[in-house]
A and B are shown apart, each in its own frame.
Chain A
Amino acid sequence: MKLYNINLKSNIILGSSRYPSPQVFQNCIKRTGTKMITVAVRRLVPGSEDFLKIIKKTKCHILPNTAGCFSVKEAVATAEMARELFKTNLIKLEVIENKKTLKPSMRGTIKATERLIDKGFKVLPYITDNLNFAKEMESLGCEVIMPWGSHIGSGRGLDNLSKLKIIREEIPDKTLIVDAGIGRISHICQVMELGFDGVLLNSAVVSSKSPEKFAEALSLGMKAVQTSIKAGPMEQRAFATASTSNKGKPFSK
């Protein structure tokens, strides 16, 4: 999928949080086949350096986030610190308005996006499934837009399939990624069957009993759904259509 000037050879972006060990993290990257991982910035503590080494070793593209930012000022400063640390203009923008739902603020995200684009960032905004929100992001110049499927870390999947479908229909030319709420492989299939370009997930992998196995399933699931889309699935019909011919049916008159 296309993320600004990057042609990512995977439709999965993987979060880097809460793995039981660096080795499991590395294995999950390999098994999903992802080429991009999300990272955060937090106050410097001894040992932080080790994480930077780990992510550099993955050779994946790095997508820093502004997780936990509730104000435009915080989000912009966090993005700028991330740019210097990770040497990338890409930023996964999160401007949150509600602690319980981690719902992104439309007003805050718009303001922060404007400022960040002015500063030369390539913004990947985390938004709700509200079409107006998505259209605002498109009109500001975002090449990638990331609506939520459901609440972050909920694993519920896609709360509003029809809303996401409308976003896809109304914004046909931008890269659309479902960010947040993915819990199962079937959710990924739904996302891709809606015509989205990819998924961004973290909790689904690390909250499974076997992250490495789940990572493998992710890769298999993505391959399966992409192959089925290429095959051109049948149209849905309102009523039954017999698959067995009636020609030669016994007892018929």
Chain B
Amino acid sequence: MITISLNGEEVTLSNDINLYDFLREKFSFKMSFAVALNGEFVSKSKYKRIGINPGDEIEVVSAHPGG
């Protein structure tokens, strides 16, 4: 098991999971969202190629009112 941060909260998950599977587990791909890993943007096309490591910080964002 490894521990990471998802939107600022600690999450424990099984080893050997890629970003795509993690996001599918936590959210629905019917939802519109975008992702940053350790402060860097990750495009949708790369989710399956990126593994998750202990201590990773994942941000998942969506549209929000703003000025």
Which positions in A face B, CB cutoff 8 Å?
Answer: 15-19, 38-45, 48-49, 51-52, 55, 64-65, 67, 73-74, 76-78, 80-82, 84-86, 152-153, 201-203
Contact = CB atoms under 8 A, between A and B. Distances in A.
Given A44-B27, A77-B39, A84 B34 contact: yes
Given A77-B41, A82-B34, A85-B32, A52 B63 contact: yes
A84 B62 contact: no
B39 A44 contact: no
Contacts of A40: 63-67
Q: How large is the interface on B (under 10, 10 to 19, 20 to 34, 35 or more residues)?
A: 20 to 34
A16 B65 CA distance: 5
Considering the complex of A and B, which 10 residue pairs feature the smallest CB-CB distances, nearest first? A40-B66, A15-B67, A202-B67, A80-B41, A81-B34, A42-B64, A48-B62, A17-B65, A52-B63, A41-B61
B43 interface: yes
A115 B31 CA distance: 29
A218 B23 CA distance: 43
A99 B4 CA distance: 29
A98 B62 CA distance: 26
Contacts of B33: 44, 48, 85
Contact of A51 (B39, B59, B63, B67): B63
Contact of B66 (A43, A52, A65): A65
A153 B8 CA distance: 28
A77 B40 contact: yes
A52 B7 CA distance: 20
Interface string B38-67: 011101100000000000000111111111
B36 interface: yes
B42 to A, nearest CB: 9
Contact of A85 (B7, B27, B63): B63
Given A43-B7, A44-B7, A77-B36, A84 B43 contact: yes
A39 B64 CA distance: 6
B66 to A, nearest CB: 3
Contacts of B65: 15-19, 39-40, 51
B61 A44 contact: yes
A78 B61 CA distance: 9
Contact of B63 (A39, A67, A77, A80): A39
Given A43-B7, A44-B60, A85-B33, A38 B66 contact: yes
Contacts of B62: 41-42, 44-45, 48-49, 51-52, 85
